[in-house]
Amino acid sequence: MRAISAFRNSSSFTLSIVLTSLLMIGVVFITYFLIISNDDLLIRESEAAINADIRGFNSLYRAAGSKAVEKALNDRIAENGNDFFYHLKNDKNKFITGNMLFWPNDDTQSIKNGMLSLKIGDAASKEYDVMAKIMVLTNGHQLLIGRNIDDIEIIQWVGRTFGWIMILILCLISATSIWVAYYVVNRINIISEKADDIISTGKLTERLPVDSNWDDLSKLTMALNKMLDQFEYSVEGIKSVSDNIAHDLRTPLARLKTHIEVMPEGDDKFALLKESDNLLSIFNSLLRIADIESERKTSAFAQHNMKQILEDVVDLYFPVIEDNKIHLTLTINLKNVTLYCDKDLIFQAFANVLDNAIKFNEEGGNIVVTLNDGTLGQQKEMIFSVFDSGPGVMPPAFEKLTQRFYREDSSRNKSGNGLGLALVLAIVNLHKGTIGFIDNPLATTSGLGCQIVLPQRE
């Protein structure tokens, strides 16, 4: 059973999607700022600084004339060093003053609003990236004012680099959050499916898989495995108590039966022998279940003809079936009739299931017995089914049918000790198979179906 059938049902995955969406919005915003806003910001900042200089020189020219402008330029050059570049020429294109000795060509790249992009310097000196603008005085003189933008470009490069690093980090965070959500959902499903398998099969020796020890889910898994250790120990303790009791009491009961057999004939002797036989049957069944569950019976495994085993079981019970006027239908449809198994145990399992179908059926009832091929993925299987038209069992009680000593209230008046299907379960588990029950499989008034699935070896 999967704890989370779809990722959209996981709160972790949903939260990761929400966080990832917010992060991606941040990525889009930063990208927009870097790609669209950066160049315009550089132009606007440089243009604002140059325009401020132009306004200052215009005011100075109107107030004090061109000589004042020349003096101010020389003072500005001395103060500002290489931050600003100036070239003042007269109406005859003759250089007057400035720290930039050449005038830009007519084909110089124009950015916008009259702003020019220049490179100042030569092979022997440092080259500067400069943004410039030309102002014309009323006397025909022209003044080029340029600003060194190297420092601004460096700052912009740092900001752009930091921005791309942030985008990369945000993308990594987004990918990591999705991966963590996937990992959590996947691990929860693995734990849930394995726990469900342990519970449904009763294989308490198996444990939940632990693939690491750094995350909280692995720590939880280890804690659950410790709980399973304790649970297995407790169950084994309970089983060992009943098995030891059965073992210790079997010999005294056998002696008691011997003493009863030498008693004079009579109703009391018959009743005592019947009860002693029933008790010995219970203890023998308990010991046999314990022996099978310990998995010490694999030494008798071999390839056996399952068709022959089932036909022998049906032949054994055929007189009883006829006496109860039960209609039995046997269908065997196998491509490969052999199975690697313990012949005697499989015979016992088939016999127990068929015995229950006969015992709890009505006179004139129906029983359908089938043995067919099946597949689960790549695994070939053999499916044994017994369907009857008896009183049946309510579906909520199905999981109790294979428990030791469990008997439905309606079956208390029937002979038996409640260990037949518990023995069948032990045999099926030994063969790595499964057992299940079906409500009213023949679609009559009532009924019960028992289905055993056994894996085939190539």
Per-residue pLDDT of the chain (458 residues), as tens digits, is: 444 455 555 666 666 677 777 777 777 777 666 665 555 666 777 788 888 888 988 898 888 888 888 888 888 888 755 578 888 998 888 998 888 888 888 777 777 777 888 887 754 567 778 888 888 888 888 999 888 887 777 777 777 777 778 778 877 877 877 787 778 778 888 888 888 887 766 677 788 888 777 777 788 888 888 888 887 777 676 666 655 665 556 667 667 667 677 777 777 777 776 666 666 666 566 666 666 666 555 667 889 999 999 999 999 888 888 888 899 999 999 888 889 988 888 888 998 899 889 888 888 889 999 999 888 878 889 999 999 988 888 888 888 888 877 776 555 455 556 777 888 888 888 888 899 999 988 888 888 999 999 998 76
pLDDT of residue 331: 92
Instruction: Extract the tokens encoding 206.
Output: 């198996």
Strand pairing class (142-148; 128-136):
antiparallel
What's the confidence (pLDDT) of residue 308?
Answer: 93
Closest CA to 434 of 376, 395, 358: 376
- Judge contact between 435 and 381, C-beta under 8 A: no
Helix or strand (DSSP H, E) at 405: none
What is the reported pLDDT for 310?
A: 92
Residue of 329, 321, 428 whose CA lies nearest to 383: 428
Domain boundaries, the chain: 16-155, 216-293, 298-455
Rounded CA separation 4/263 (Å): 67
Tokens of 35: 């790609």
**How high is the pLDDT of residue 170?**
77
The 8-class DSSP code of residue 97 comes to E
Closest CA to 183 of 172, 175, 171, 193: 175
Give how far Cα 369 sits from Cα of 382, 411, 420, 449, Å: 13, 22, 18, 10
Compute CA distances 411 → 107, 282, 360, 405, whole Å. Answer: 108, 17, 8, 12
212: burial class by Cβ within 10 Å (0-12, 13-18, 19+)?
exposed
- Does domain 298-455 fall into CATH 3.30.565.10? yes
Structure tokens at 133: 């603008």
pLDDT at 367: 92
Predicted local distance difference test score (pLDDT) of residue 414: 59
Strand 327-333 and strand 84-89: the pairing is unpaired
* Residues 284/253, Cβ–Cβ less than 8 Å: no
- State how beta strands 142-148 and 116-120 pair: unpaired
**Per-residue model confidence (pLDDT) at position 454:** 92
Q: Which CATH architecture has domain 216-293?
A: Orthogonal Bundle (1.10)
Q: What is the DSSP string of 151-217?
A: HHHHHHHHHHHHHHHHHHHHHHHHHHHHHHHHHHHHHHHHHHHHHHHHHHH--TT-------SSSHH
Measured distance CA(421)–CA(196) in Å, rounded: 21
Q: What is the pLDDT of residue 3?
A: 45
- Other beta carbons within 10 angstroms of residue 87's beta carbon come to 22
Please identify, in words, the CATH class of the domain defined by 16-155.
alpha beta
**What does the alpha-carbon distance between residue 335 and residue 458 come to, in Å, rounded to a whole number?**
13
- For residue 374, give the 3-state DSSP assignment: strand
